[in-house]
Structure formats: C-alpha cells, structure tokens
Amino acid sequence: MDFTPTVEQEAVTSLADQIFGDALSPELQSQRLRVIESGDDWFDDDLWRLLADAGLLGITLSTDIGGAGLDAVALALLVRTQGAHVAPLPLLPSSVAAFVVDHHGSPAQRERLLPGIVDGSQVLTVGVQELLDDRLNMPTCIFAHGQVTGTKVVVEHFEVANRLLVTASSPSGPCCVLVDKSASGISVTSGRSTRLQPLSQVTFKNTPGELVGDSSAVQALLAHLRLAICATQLGVTEQALALTAEYATNRQQFGRPIATFQAVGQRLADQFVNVGGIRLATLSAAWRLANNLDAEEDLLVAKWWASERATEVAHATQHIHGGMGMATDYPLHRYTLWNKHLTTSLGAGNQTLRHLGALLAN
C-alpha cells in the first residue's frame, strides 16, 4: 500500500488548489461566498466553468468521452481541495454520479451524458438517503416498468442539476436509476442544511427513469459517495486546523502567543492526530477503490474518523479561537458549518459504527 501521489495526482492537486485559491483568495472569500450562499442555488458558476476549462470536472472519466481517465485517488484529492476552500459547488455529487454512469452505464448513456459533464454544461446529483432509514443499500423507492416511485431526502444541488442518479429497489434487486429533472411526477420540498446549502426532499410518482447497470452500480455509488465525503471533510479539517494554528501563533495573551500555553498546545496536538487519522483512513480507502479491492471496511473506518474525530476538530478550533471563530467575516465559522454537515452525511459516527460492527460480525 503506497500513498505516494503519482505525477498525475500531484498535478490534479496543484491545479485545483491554484484555481480554487485564485477564485476564493482570503481577500475575496468572505464577500464572494456570502453572496453565493445567500442565493437560491448555492452555485459558483464562474468557478465551475474554470474547473471545466481546466479539465478537472472529468478527471475520473474515460478518455474516450474527453475525461482524464484517473482513479478514485484523484477524485479524493480533488474534493479534498474543494473542502479546503469551502467552495460552493456540486462537485462531489456530480463527479460521483458521472463516475458510476461511466463505469456502469450503457454506451448510449455514456455518449449522451458524459461529454456534457466534462465541459460543465451538465450537472448531476444523487438521491440515496431516505427519511429515518439508513439502510442505504436497501432503498424503499421502487423502480418498476421504467418508472420510479418514492421519496429521497437530503438531495443536494437539485436547483442546478440536470439529472439525478437515484437508488431504488427493483424485482431484480437494488439498482441505480437516471432521472431527468424535468420528467413528470416529481415534486420538491426545499430547505437548507447547516452549511446554508439548499437541500431538497424529492418525491417521485411514476416518474420515468433509465436503469443504469445492475446492483453493482449501487455499491459503486455508495462507496464513492462515502469516499468523497470523507475526502472533503479531510480538506475542511486540515484547513480549519491550519487557520487555528496561525491564529494561536499570532494571538497574544499575557504578553506571549497563546500557542505557547501548554493547554492550547496539547489541544492543537490532539487535533493534529485526529486530522492525521482522517487522512490515513481516507487515503487507504481511496487506494483500495483505485486498485479494485474490497474497500467497505476501510470506508466505514474513514467515515467514523470523518464524523467523530472531525467533530472534535470543530470543537477545538472554535474553542481556541474564542468569539472570533463565530464571526461571519472570519473564515473559521464556515469550516465549522461544513464540518457539521459532512459529519452527518450518509450517517454520523454511531450509525457508521453500527454498520462496521455488522460487517465485521458477518
């Protein structure tokens, strides 16, 4: 197991960091993000076009449709960079859904949909969660006779998406279904997440849809979603800790930096270990997925770190900042809100431990 990035993976990280950094520099971040977050779609379309022009929206897609043909590690590194800059984009759900269509969809589906993902003209989102039910691989939505019926919650970026990749149950088992946002029989209830992002509850009633692959597509979708959530959380916690270390170094109390106080130093050291655990577990899961190995256990371990230990990072970074951490014109509050949202996405720590225990028991 070698986590040393390849030349291509290093290039992805460097290019993404440059684009995100230029668009969301410290001088621009607070004002620009506040305007975007107050809108209806929570979508920085200028930044989206920059990523498309740089070829980053298709890094994991096959070369025959214009992608870069890279693997799950590259996906993790890309969304990790997004998390570090808390960029309001549908990068996570769109990239994961496109990856599933690329590897499990029909030739016609790939040719019709994926070139638009690469050039940024098409956006995908996913619907995998259902109300009060964390059995993600046993959806209660039904797909029969080419139609979907049921309800999905916590659907991100519905406002800007063109299509949804939805999990459902069919006579032959769990499946992924591609649904056009403009199809008949769709009703939407909108709300907002802890990070101020619009979220939707989407109900389908005899809504036309296209089957994508077989039951293995569901497992691929859930695995890569979980990986991308953990990798995004890694970027969030790494940057939150970096901001806090800088603040503690510069903040003076009793004539010296607060970073020199033993209690503050120990607290920061604990979070350094926690962020390292998130990093190690996430990269291990990404490496296994990229090498076509069973990654389910690694993904659950990574998700536990990205839930339980990420919560500790949020508490510590806010505590060390004091009241400054809550100021909306200071960047830390946004990392805390993202942290909370990602902590509970696809299940929080206790739910993840329950699934991990069941996996090990079996």
DSSP per position, 243-269: HHHHHHHH-EETTEEGGGSHHHHHHHH
Name the CA radius of gyration of the chain, rounded.
20
The phi, psi pair for 171, rounded to 5°, reads -55, -25
| pLDDT range class, residue 314, cuts 50, 70, 90 | very high
- pLDDT (average), residues 53-66: 96
CA distance 190 to 324: 31
List the beta bridge partners of residue 165: 126, 178
| pLDDT range class, residue 320, cuts 50, 70, 90 | very high
Q: What is the pLDDT of residues 173-222, one digit of tens each?
A: 999 999 999 999 999 999 999 898 999 999 999 999 999 999 999 999 99
Residue 34: pLDDT above 90?
no
CA distance 323 to 208: 51
| pLDDT range class, residue 35, cuts 50, 70, 90 | confident
pLDDT at residue 28, rounded to an integer: 64
80 Cβ contact partners less than 8 Å away, ≥ 6 residues apart? 13, 231, 232, 234, 235, 238
CA distance 80 to 302: 14
Domains and CATH numbers, the chain: 7-119 (1.10.540.10), 124-216 (2.40.110.10), 218-361 (1.20.140.10)
Q: What is the pLDDT of residues 63-116, one digit of tens each?
A: 999 999 999 999 999 999 999 999 999 999 999 999 999 999 999 999 999 999
Cβ atoms of 308 and 22 closer than 8 Å: no
- pLDDT (average), residues 45-52: 96
Query: If phi over 0 gives left and psi between -120 and 50 gives alpha, with beta otherwise, what is residue 235?
Result: alpha
Q: What is the pLDDT of residues 232-260, one digit of tens each?
A: 999 999 999 999 999 999 998 999 999 99
